[in-house]
Amino acid sequence: MPTIKSGIFHLFFLTVALSTASCSSEKTDLRKKPLNAHDFDLPGIYKRGSLVVLAENSSTSFFIYKGKKMGFEYELLKEFAEDLGVALEVKIVNNLDEINDILNRGEGDIIACNYTIIRERRSEVNFSIPFLQTSQVLVQRKSTPETKDQKVTFITDPIQLAKKKIVVWEKSSYYTRLLHLEDEIGDTIFIRPTQAQEGVEELIEQVSDGLIDYTISERNVAEINERFYDNLDVNLPVSFKQNIAFGLNKKSPILQKRLNIWLAKFMKHESFSYIKRKYFEQIRSSVDGSINFKSHKGTISPFDAILKAEGSKYNIDWRLVAALIFHESKFNPNARAFGGAYGLMQFMPGTGPKFGVFPSSPPEVQIQGGYKYLSRISKLWAGIKNEEERNKFILASYNAGAGHILDAQRLAEKKGLNPHVWEGNVEKMVMNLGKHSYYTDEVVKSGAFRGNITIRYVREITLRCKTYKALVKH
């Protein structure tokens, strides 16, 4: 996983096989049939033994990162499901225009998609008590010396949005807010509506890429995505604070009451504060606290000896691993980052223990566990005979999770590209995994993914590895 500076949330979304062995497990929901009338509400949930959540594939709702199921709302509902003693099923909804209908047909129990409470939605669904408050902000490119000569106004006051083109989802609270803002400023805003297939995070990416100039997002979503794209500004609020809550079927009053009681209690616990910090505060932290080490001729890090020994054991070039560690933690064994990632190689809490690595583990143990993990990943790409190419796939898998890279490989093959070559081939499909038309393709098993961070990750580590090879020959 990259450091915060390089965009720690490459975030998005590896589907894995989910256990159904116990009532506390999660599983993907493949059911097409709606629930029977008697299955609505809490008694029906207990009868089937599962709580079905309708989620979006996003950084606040649900995603899978390095094989770990994540998302602020997902973690809240996982705790709730465990309190109920039922399994948690996640059903990804790609078209949010349909999410209320899907809920009301009985194909899910709770909507979890950073759902703002607005009057228009109350006529279709009930809401839980709010668990988050956030304002809407303008997403635009930063004003820099390089962009001042461009014909794009950097907005510092909402009144400057008069006669500007802004792209937002048509059935969103953003669209409603812009209509109200037109009245407030007494002028026209050129609102270009999009369908729900283009989610807010895809529009944020389009702003960064220069395809559109402005969009609107909740601040919590915008600040997470700001970490992907260093050319974005998300500091201008365009609304008062709004409540975020879960959506529920109007036929589920018992579930609504039980959820509200549980939320009111849970939000007072340290567990809630920890989850909130993990997603909305720790992401602002940095792992820059590199150890005080001055490189000498013929050395790369304080850990060269153990890196060489383990590299020989696993037949993995130790200079590649050194480059990876520098990128992840700047050789700081005490580094901490988003999602609880820790140590030299930024293991996730759910992954590190599988390889004998814990936050308190000494550097030698961290490196040994890292080699074990890399060795396991390398076996996935044994069919790529060229070592340099194979290393790029290994790095990409370490950063994104193998599922997304396998998806990109399948897409590359389908599009007539070389599935065993990274640059210009699989790399191109990794970049496209953030687009709806690609991540909904039948060959894609792991969902949407913002690939620009992984592409940069592979390039930067590969380049650093070449530098290390020139510095140290063996």
- Active-site residue list: 328
Q: Is the separation of the CB atoms in 106 and 35 below 8 Å? A: yes
Count of Cβ atoms closer than 10 Å to residue 74 Cβ: 22
Task: Return phi, psi of residue 404, to 5°.
Answer: -70, -35
3-state secondary structure (DSSP) of residue 49? coil
Q: CA 162, CA 239: separation in Å to the nearest integer? A: 16
The DSSP H or E segment spanning 452 is helix 452-471
Spell out the long-range contacts of 91-95 with Cβ–Cβ below 8 A and sequence spacing 24 or more.
91/28, 91/29, 91/31, 91/52, 91/53, 91/54, 91/55, 92/28, 92/55, 92/56, 92/57, 92/62, 92/447, 93/54, 93/55, 93/56, 94/56, 94/57, 94/197, 94/436, 94/440, 95/195, 95/196, 95/197
CA distances from 157 to 183, 187, 237, 299 (A): 15, 14, 9, 52
Please count the CA atoms within 13 angstroms of the CA of 22 that sit on its side-chain side.
5
Q: CA 250, CA 127: separation in Å to the nearest integer? A: 9
Q: CA 255, CA 147: separation in Å to the nearest integer? A: 52
